[in-house]
């Protein structure tokens, strides 16, 4: 439990993390047009909301509209989740114990999103732009828990330092994949290229599966399935090999 895992052999849990990014994002976007794992858009949306306070004819509307409030909720919750990841910096960000605990916390957050979405009694799909659902306090809580789980996942992915990067922001991975000098090389496997392709594919599949389940069993039940998947990932860290110590790292007596 105290050993550090080898990030080079963490392909399975990290690829499932990418799957969960698409999966969870499909639920929050369908409900309120918020990408809970991609905070660039939410940050810009908040800047636009502030800009509206100083433009337009009088009388001007003071305060954030509901979509802006949801963007702020997602951003702050994401940052809180990432901040929780700082616990791992104290314990050891690659220690098996922390990876198991942090993934379990993600599962608990996803289950909390399930319960709050269910108790809110609101539908899983928004109306036209500007008419989101999850507008009640419990709806905001569902969005917050989902965003916090992605923030913690992003922190974990960053600290592992693999080809999967943060497992939530794939813009950089897209650029690195397209710009890879060996993109069209017939030789296989090429780990950096192949892992980036796998991350993109798993994100896409996650969004596809999430939307299909959302339309079939609703957001709350789909969150419950996501919590179960994350629980499986929690146990998968047991089987990731420990990182071997480099020769010469032990001092001679």
The domains located in the chain, with CATH, are 7-47+63-239 (1.20.1250)
Q: Alpha-carbon distance 209 to 203, whole Å? A: 10
- 36 pLDDT higher than 80: yes
Q: For 59-88, what is the mean pLDDT?
A: 90
Model pLDDT, residue 246: 66
Q: Can you give the C-alpha Rg of the chain in angstroms?
A: 20
Place of tokens 């069993």: 217
Model pLDDT, residue 253: 39
Model pLDDT, residue 93: 85
Cβ-Cβ contacts under 8 Å for 247 (sequence gap 6 or more) = none
Q: For 150-164, what is the mean pLDDT?
A: 88
Q: For 145-159, what is the mean pLDDT?
A: 94
Q: What is the pTM of this model?
A: 0.89
**pLDDT band with cut points at 50, 70 and 90 for residue 251:** very low
- 171 pLDDT higher than 90: no
Model pLDDT, residue 243: 79
- 128 pLDDT higher than 90: no
Model pLDDT, residue 252: 42
Please state, rounded to an integer, the average pLDDT across all residues of the chain.
89
Dihedral over Cα of 136, 141, 144, 145: its sign = negative
Contact assessment for residue 42 and residue 35, using Cβ atoms and an 8 Å cutoff = yes
Contact assessment for residue 133 and residue 116, using Cβ atoms and an 8 Å cutoff = no
- 122 pLDDT higher than 70: yes
Model pLDDT, residue 52: 82
**pLDDT band with cut points at 50, 70 and 90 for residue 247:** low
Q: For 157-171, what is the mean pLDDT?
A: 82
């Amino acid at each position: 439990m105290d050993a550090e895992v080898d990030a080079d052999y963490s392909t399975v849990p990290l690829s499932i993390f990418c799957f969960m990014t698409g999966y969870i994002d499909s639920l929050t976007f369908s409900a309120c047009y918020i990408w809970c794992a991609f905070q660039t858009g939410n940050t810009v949306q908040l800047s636009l909301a502030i800009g509206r306070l100083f433009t337009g004819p009088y009388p001007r509307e003071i305060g954030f509209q509901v979509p802006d409030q949801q963007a702020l909720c997602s951003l702050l919750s994401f940052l809180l989740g990432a901040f929780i990841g700082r616990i791992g910096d104290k314990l050891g960000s690659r220690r098996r114990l922390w990876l198991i605990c942090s993934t379990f916390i993600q599962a608990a957050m996803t289950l909390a999103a399930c319960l709050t979405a269910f108790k809110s009694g609101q539908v899983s799909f928004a109306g036209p732009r500007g008419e989101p659902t999850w507008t009640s306090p419990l709806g905001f809580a569902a969005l917050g828990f989902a965003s916090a789980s992605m923030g913690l996942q992003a922190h974990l992915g960053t600290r592992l330092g693999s080809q999967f990067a943060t497992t939530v922001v794939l813009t950089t991975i897209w650029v690195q994949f397209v710009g890879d000098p060996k993109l069209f090389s017939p030789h296989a496997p090429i780990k950096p290229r192949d892992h980036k392709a796998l991350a993109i594919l798993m994100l896409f599949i996650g969004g596809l599966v999430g939307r299909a389940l959302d339309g079939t069993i609703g957001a709350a039940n789909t969150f419950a399935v996501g919590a179960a998947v994350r629980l499986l990932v929690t146990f998968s860290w047991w089987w990731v090999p420990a990182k071997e110590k480099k020769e010469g790292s032990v001092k001679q007596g």
